Structure 1
Amino acid sequence: MASSTPYLVLLLCLASLLQQASLIAANPPHEPPPDDSREKFAKWATKYAKTYPSHEEEEKRFGIFKDNTNQIGAFRAQTSTTVVVGGFGPQTITTVRVGMNRFGDLQADEFAQQFTGFNSTGFIPAEPSIIPNHTWKPCCVDWRSSGAVTGVKFQGSCLSCWAFASVAAIEGMNKIRTGELVSLSEQELVDCDSGSSGCGGGRVDTALALVAARGGITSESDYPYSGFNGKCDVDKLLFDHDASVKGFKAVPINDESQLELAVAQQPVTVYVDASTWQFQFYSGGIFRGPCSGDPAKVNHAITIVGYCEEFGEKFWLAKNSWSNDWGEQGYIKLAKDVAWPTGTCALASSPFYPTA
């Protein structure tokens, strides 16, 4: 009997091996899905009419696109949270969303260099105008619903965010005051504001000061946007006004309650830090960062056109100038009434609004 033991062991081993082989045949090992990044990149490039001067440059941009795609996927997996919504019990919501857009072939630093535009050279905060705290304000404001906001525009690679933010604020004020919504000229500011550097960057305060000094600003149809530095059309600057402006005011810095009172009256410009890739690929929800709250690091101008809250979270509603392909159809919700005084991305560090 003892002599048959090795044969029994051998038979058992063979049976085990056969069983494992049959299991593997029935359940082949999981293979990673094929890498379709190249196909995605080709479709993306076609959608946005992207072309490159050389094969080497195209390969570089493909690598950046692939890295951005992977970052977006990883970030999405980290941003869901469970909350109780009304009487419906726990609901899983995405607190902030990111997604691929026209900026997919740019690293965050490249993006900030090409599509922002606040130039702090010579910037000195203006004397603030305090709004009485007893001033009436609604719990929610959205100037779009009042017809005081034109469609989202695109600054292109001209660093003219300051001009777009200024114009959006003037458009809103003009509609509220006159009842007429007119799309106004950013190009006039790019060409004529000597206090700024055109497509090299600029400031809202110098833009508003120029318009106030000349008494108004031309319509976009009469002075269309080219996205390049041009020669100032002095006749239009001086005499062709489709909206009048007498001055501008600064909201007290680092005071979101004062900013709320100002936005309750009209759209207001703010500076923010838009340096992070999460800001670059923002596609929805309430943005809380990452971004800097340091006023010295702001690099972009946007226009706050409202405020409200969702799921108990307060937010500012801001119009951007990166086309309606970015964000929530061109808008971003920024967390409101945060713990630090400068606000989300330092938005409370230097707000302005025009007066008539």
Structure 2
Amino acid sequence: MASSTPYLVVLLCLTSLLQASLTAANPSFELPESEVRSRFSKWMTKYSKHYSCHEEEEKRFGIFKQNTNSIGAFASQTTVNGGVGGFGPQTITTVRVGMNRFGDLNPSEVVEQFTGFNNTGFRTPKPSPLPYHSWKPCCVDWRSSGAVTGIKFQGSCLSCWAFAAVAAIEGMNKIRTGELVSLSEQQLVDCDTGSSGCSGGRSDTALGLAATRGGITSEAKYPYSGIQGTCNVDKLLFDNQASVKGFKAVPPNDEHQLALAVARQPVTVYIDASAWEFQFYTGGIYRGPCSSDASRVNHAVTIVGYCEGPGEDNKYWIAKNSWSNDWGDQGYIYLAKDVPWKTGTCGLATSPFYPTA
């Protein structure tokens, strides 16, 4: 233990020096009130924002002002990240942030209104490991294979779990049949009794419902409303546009097994989306801040690819989100891959699933 102490001290000193230099490189940033007012007015028009009263509008302006100034200060901020417990290899990377539809919200409000993973009573199903030395290319992107539909928007319905499950089924169906069909999230929101509709749910129960009923119908025949309604039983039972026979759980906390699965098809994962930097992410490889604790994940996305370099700092997962193409890098976020902690960036390796047919 004594022999490791100098190493830890050096790392702590280096981290402190780097953080100090970053603070100096990012001085306080504040736009004139009139400029922020002008931006807020244009932002309200762009997103058709209306508030119930003047007091609410002023409250939202205050949050918008804080977010605008924070984005300006962050700019192309370089962040420092350590390994588990703050120790381990140090990585410096650039993440970009920018204004989007969440400009008048703070991070807790985004989580409350636009995520939706419900981990109450959650138990990870028995995992199905793939052979360790199975074929796995260095880079996979199912978008380039035409196996990923366009970015969708869940709205303020807490239905990320349904969107993540549907994206995985859409990918599997394209790979299996050669046809890309946009499938129905609304069917899962209305019919999955293992979840709670617009009050949150789980991708594994959604995949389980699709498997029990033999598949899922198309978005065209069961369009998304963003409101939990009565289940259309006829479409649930007799109008499958994509076949689903089952689903499997990737062994938890194993990024190698996750990569083996993603090399075959898109995979759903749960992550922590609580950070301000996540809320306004626009590009770069995201390494945090976020929690990697399984008990803290709150959002579901679909991993549609990955890349393993060249270089240790260029390993990332390609995650499809359901917050519209106005968010992130045209609707996607690139999450750091093969990090020193087993649960993965923002907990993405804790509970991955994929459908089977």
- Normalised TM-score (structure 1): 0.86
Aligned to 2:279: 280
User: Partner residue of 2:212?
Assistant: 213
Q: Which residue does 2:53 correspond to in 1?
A: 54
- Residue equivalent to 1:325: 326
- Consecutive unaligned residues of structure 2, counting only runs of 5 or more, are 1-29, 81-91
Deviation for aligned residue 1:119: 0.5
Partner of 1:347: 348
Cα distance per residue 1:256-283 (max 9 Å; x no partner): 0000000000000000000111101000
Amino acid corresponding to residue 317 of structure 1 in structure 2? I
Q: Show CA shifts across 1:86-123 (max 9, x none).
A: xxxxxxx9721110000000011011100000001221
In 2, are the aligned partners of 1:79 and 1:97 still within 8 Å (CA)? no
Question: What SS does structure 1 have at the residue aligned with 2:38?
Answer: helix
For residue 61 of structure 1, give the secondary structure of its aligned residue in structure 2: helix
* Equivalent position amino acid for 2:144 in 1: S
Q: CA deviation at 1:42?
A: 0.5
Alignment of 1:114-133 (within 5 A): 114-133=113-132
Residue identity over aligned pairs, in percent, reads: 76
Give the AA of the match of 2:351: S
Q: Which amino acid in structure 1 is aligned with residue 148 of structure 2?
A: V
Q: Any idea what SS the aligned residue of 2:284 has?
A: strand
2: CA distance between counterparts of 1:134 and 1:345? 26
1:247 aligns with 2:246: yes
Question: Could you tell me how far 1:137 is from its partner in structure 2?
Answer: 1.0
1:184 matched to 2:162? The reply is no
Task: Give the 5 Å matches for 1:13-162.
Answer: 34-35=32-33, 36-79=35-78, 95-162=94-161
- List, as ranges, runs of 4+ consecutive aligned residues in structure 1 with deviation greater than 6 Å: none
Structure 2: distance between partners of 1:133 and 1:119: 31
Seen in structure 2, the aligned counterparts of structure 1 residues 148 and 57 have a Cα distance that, compared at 3 Å, is same
Partner of 2:174: 175
Long gaps (5+) in structure 1: 1-31, 82-92
CA RMSD of aligned residues (A): 1.5
Q: Could you tell me how far apart the structure 2 residues matched to 1:164 and 1:144 are? A: 16
Number of aligned positions between the proteins: 314
Flag the structure with larger Rg.
1
Distance 1:273 1:152 in 2: 20
Q: CA deviation at 1:214?
A: 0.3
Q: Does residue 316 of structure 2 align to residue 315 of structure 1?
A: yes
| Residue 72 of structure 1, CA deviation | 1.3
What SS is found at the alignment partner of 1:238? Answer: helix
**CA distance 1:175–1:207, shift in 2 (3 Å):** same
**Alignment match, 1:338:** 339
How far 1:33 sits from its partner (Å)?
A: 7.0
C-alpha deviation, 1:34, in angstroms: 4.0
What letter is aligned with 1:344?
T
Residue by residue over 1:59-98, the C-alpha shift from the partner in whole angstroms, topping out at 9 and shown as x without a partner, is 00000000011111222253289xxxxxxxxxxx972111
Amino acid at match of 2:349: A
* Contact 2:76/2:94 (<8 A) preserved: no
3-state DSSP of counterpart to 1:71: helix
Which position in structure 1 is the counterpart of 2:229? 230
TM-score normalised to the size of structure 2?
A: 0.86
